[in-house]
Structure 1
């Protein structure tokens, strides 16, 4: 799964990295402070397309149906790609709400000595990642329901299983555009999510301080990404 992630770049940085033309007014200003420990319930940057052009919004990480909201149930933050297409819960988002969540990396946890040990997972090169997401946002529509997004996850493979058995679907910039394009048919989008995620060998990961675990909105420092020594 994906329970936290780092999003310290600017909107323009992520837009350029995905291959967008950033000369328009859409990409002037509008940045928040760098975030190194984005948690569910907050509103990070999300990329999507409108009329074949890249746009952005700050959306709440978490989705629940109106009935779940009325019952005050906790929102979903991830969607299993295997169920998102076939189940009724997320299928409408697969048709009309495919987005990209840009980041520098994400956190997963193992249990060591009875305590949750966080790991930071990123690319070995200085480049962002593009995580597949789903949202119920409908631009230019008067919506009276809670708006949010979830991150699409798939089974881990290779050594990353040692960190967690599931991970976000991370796409290349080319596949990210195909994923966001609403002209892409649902079946093709599902194929992208199921088969085009970057392989385990495209990432590196290391232990980080357990301070990452604190549910404090001010717990958001660059030092949280610093590797800690291997345990003896």
Structure 2
């Protein structure tokens, strides 16, 4: 997974995709986010459970433990290593969902620059991605060390021959189970290892090369070019 994604709908669109009836504790705002080309370190809307309530906070994409000051924050964690990797041990119990509209990959097609592709669900529904992180809750005020990482998996030889990793994406039922604090860690590991959505749920197409410019936001970035 390359490290660029879109989160342009509003929090309420993403809540509807999760189909959680519990009351929402909303620290993410009500307006559409309008992030068509979100980069690592961007504050993104992240879902987690606080008791019986669903909570949404704006949390930085990227995290490192307090002792790893000599390392850059990571944005992704490989699904087959994350549960037992000491780097992530502090946040492995803190499961979350990052709901996105699409993500981007770059492909070397022989030209002077790589060609960006957009990947989204065929049904255009939000993509519910498994994540873990350090984030605000009733016992933890927002902190400069807060952040999250996306969990990524082998895309079975490369999603549309674009990249060999993809986010671990879950249907709404499994996303709710992943978020539920009562779900045992062993079951959470099984979900992320074995039950993510198949490549067939997605479609992809070329988009204009301005994708990747953090100053360049707008719906034109997700328009097919052919």
Scaled by the length of structure 1, the TM-score of the pair is 0.88
Secondary structure at the counterpart of residue 194 of structure 1: helix
- List 4+ stretches of structure 1 deviating above 6 A: none
Distance 1:58 1:28 in 2: 6
Moved more, 186-195 or 25-34: 25-34
| Structure (1/2) with the larger helix percentage | 1
| Structure (1/2) with the larger strand percentage | 2
Q: Give the match for residue 56 of structure 1.
A: 56
Deviation string for 1:189-216 (max 9, x for gaps)? 01100111110100000111111022x2
Q: Give the match for residue 101 of structure 2.
A: 104
Moved more, 97-106 or 142-151: 142-151
Distance 1:50 1:150 in 2: 19
Q: Give the match for residue 212 of structure 1.
A: 211
Q: Deviation of residue 27 (structure 1)?
A: 8.2
Contact in 2 for aligned 1:118/1:208 (Cα 8 Å): yes
Q: Give the match for residue 171 of structure 1.
A: 170
Runs of at least 5 residues in structure 1 that lack an aligned partner in the other structure: none
Q: Give the match for residue 154 of structure 1.
A: 153
Moved more, 166-175 or 113-122: 113-122
Q: Deviation of residue 185 (structure 1)?
A: 1.1
Distance 1:48 1:68 in 2: 25
Q: Give the match for residue 199 of structure 2.
A: 200
Aligned Cα root-mean-square deviation (Å)? 2.2
Q: Deviation of residue 181 (structure 1)?
A: 1.0
1:50-129 correspondence to structure 2 within 5 Å: 50-69=50-69, 71=70, 73-95=71-93, 97-113=94-110, 114-129=112-127
For this pair of structures, how many residues does the alignment match? 224
Contact in 1 for aligned 2:24/2:54 (Cα 8 Å): no
Q: Give the match for residue 224 of structure 1.
A: 221
Q: Deviation of residue 28 (structure 1)?
A: 9.5
Runs of at least 5 residues in structure 2 that lack an aligned partner in the other structure: none
Deviation string for 1:41-82 (max 9, x for gaps)? 11010111111321100000000122333x3x3210000011
Scaled by the length of structure 2, the TM-score of the pair is 0.90
